[in-house]
Amino acid sequence: MTQQIRNIAIIAHVDHGKTTMVDQLLRQSGTFASHEKVVDTVMDNNAIERERGITILAKNCAVSWNGTHINILDTPGHADFGGEVERALSMVDGVVLLIDAQEGPMPQTRFVTKKALALGLKPIVVVNKVDKPGARPDYVINAAFELFDKLGASEEQLDFPVVYASGINGWSSLTEGGQGEQWGPDMSALFETILKHVPAHQGDPKAPLQLQISAIDFSTFVGRIGVGRVNAGTLKPGMEVLVAEGTDGKTFKGKVNQVLTFQGLDRVQVTEAGPGEIALVNGIADIGIGVTLTDPANPRPLPMLHVDEPTLTMNFSVNTSPLAGREGKFVTSRQIWDRLQKELQSNMALRVKETDEDGVFEVSGRGELHLTILLENMRREGYELAVGKPRVVFREVNGERHEPIELVTADIEENHQGGVMQALGERRGDLVNMEPDGRGRVRLEYRIPARGLIGFSNEFLNLTRGTGLISNIFDSYEPYRGEIGGRKNGVLISMDDGEIFTYALGKLDDRGRMFVRPNDPVYEGMIVGIHSRDNDLVVNATRTKQLTNFRVSGKEDAIKITPPIQLTLEYGVEFIEDDELVEITPKSIRLRKRFLKEHERKRASREAG
């Protein structure tokens, strides 16, 4: 137990280079053998993380530098996965805040920094990508100082050390300047700054045991594995412990089986873990996030971890379409409910409850991305289900209805500014700040109801021709701002069950854009395209050409159809209205009306009216 320990979390806005930086720290600390072939972003080991290039789950690894064991937590950048960040910060004694040298602090930088400062953690600011054209390190450092000041940082936190680095090229330096001798050839400047400025955890190894579980893992061999930092005392295999849910919650006894710690990306068994160690514990079946493992003779439980409440909710229901059960393995309401209960054990920011309707569950989370990643995981596991339009979570404050307001930052080219400002204005957004960068781009900051952002990302990409960057973060609850207009176009609805024919698509081509291709199966009430007008239109998508003995030669036989819109899970969830559903199966995503028969839809709209 003589080795020195440091625990740090790497926090930043999405795409500012956290996972790439962790790659370099692992490589340069000798974690990988020289002959080992290492993939890039080695920490993003989940298939969806690799496809999208984002971090979803907080991950642990550890490196050794000059005899000091440094536990590193790579955290997500999206505010939707804030539950992961809040958990990770409860295990560390310092944070490395990465900021892109060109973009500067962004909304999610603000979100994670606010959490870290509130916990009293002292940040180390790393200006990353300083070798990028257009880098402006001085602006970034000043902006970081202003941000810390706004978030109520203490004098000690405002006196932060700065490291300049290029994560992708693997070097760091304490001085700003050209790439000359003063730049460190490797990451040693960052390592030394961590050793100097991050305090070692102060805890008595002889005191009663105190370890709070901050993450849950699962193994088919040993069952549930709890991950947490030993706050005080010494943890050993075979120990009897008391598991306490907060300071006044229920308690039960358990026995620790194995104790492991992190070494590089691997987990190694140890004979004991002392104060400051991030340890993995197995053998306790009902272990959960936030519980404290403590000494049964002298219990000292810690308060349960607090996570911000969800702001968005969606209804998950059984798939009732005529094509249900063809592709999925798990299709019943019991199977969907059990899967959601399993998700709750490790996903802290999620809430699930049953509704009055049979087979419909209300699932609440931090944002669209948070919920669609869960849906994507479920469909890959073989689940079939239908989901409704996302709704925001309202609150009653002094008898008045309050709604969540988001802080939005949009980085766009100046010639797209008018269209974006008009669109955000229509969605009840208030302009807070406008900052041109002098290079043809402008940064807009808005405060806008969360309702107004549902379905906005596709429109934003169209308005900025794909060159804009937008990010948003929950700000506060405020009084309801009034109605916001919905989708401007109606939809094309199939009137029959069957298979789509090229001939039918050719006839419908001038009616709007389609979601379906020739030979796709369709059913009555399924949405096959976007209508070019604002009303819904029932169409015959299974129509075939009447064949006769009469033949003509001519070009009119060649049917030209516009390529269909690629339906993704995110697009579908953003596109639908209240009376529509997204049908999700392992192989297909379809849109449909809640009521498939036309007379049922008419009756429902009369009753609603």
Q: Does 452 count as an annotated binding residue?
A: no
**392: its two tokens:** 């925001």
H or E element, residue 88: helix 82-89
Which are the contacts of 306, defined by CB distance < 8 A and separation ≥ 6?
A: 86
Q: Is 16 annotated as contributing to ligand binding?
A: yes
CA 254 vs. chain centroid, Å, equals 34
Q: Is 486 annotated as a binding residue?
A: no
Cβ partners under 8 Å of residue 305, min gap 6: 86, 87, 90, 212, 214, 289, 290, 348
Say whether 306 counts as a known binding-site residue: no
- Closest among 41, 15, 89 to 471, alpha carbons compared: 15
Helix ranges, 381-471 (H): 417-426, 450-453, 456-463
In contact, 575 and 592? CB cutoff 8 Å:
no
- The answer to whether 19 is a known ligand-binding residue is yes
Residue 207, helix vs strand vs coil: coil
Residue 332 three-state SS: coil
Please check if 430 is assigned to a binding site: no
Is 320 annotated among the ligand-binding residues?
Answer: no
CA-wise closest residue to 54 among 471, 413, 389, 464: 471
Is 15 labelled a binding residue?
Answer: yes
Q: Answer left, alpha or beta for residue 226, where phi above 0 means left and psi between -120 and 50 means alpha.
A: beta
Distance from chain centroid for Cα 581: 22
Q: What is the DSSP letter of 465?
A: T
The reply to whether 20 sits in an annotated binding site is yes
CB atoms within 10 A of CB 317: 20
Query: According to the annotation, is 94 in a ligand binding site?
Result: no
Specify binding-site residues.
Answer: 15-20, 128-131
Specify binding-site residues for GTP.
Answer: 15-20, 128-131
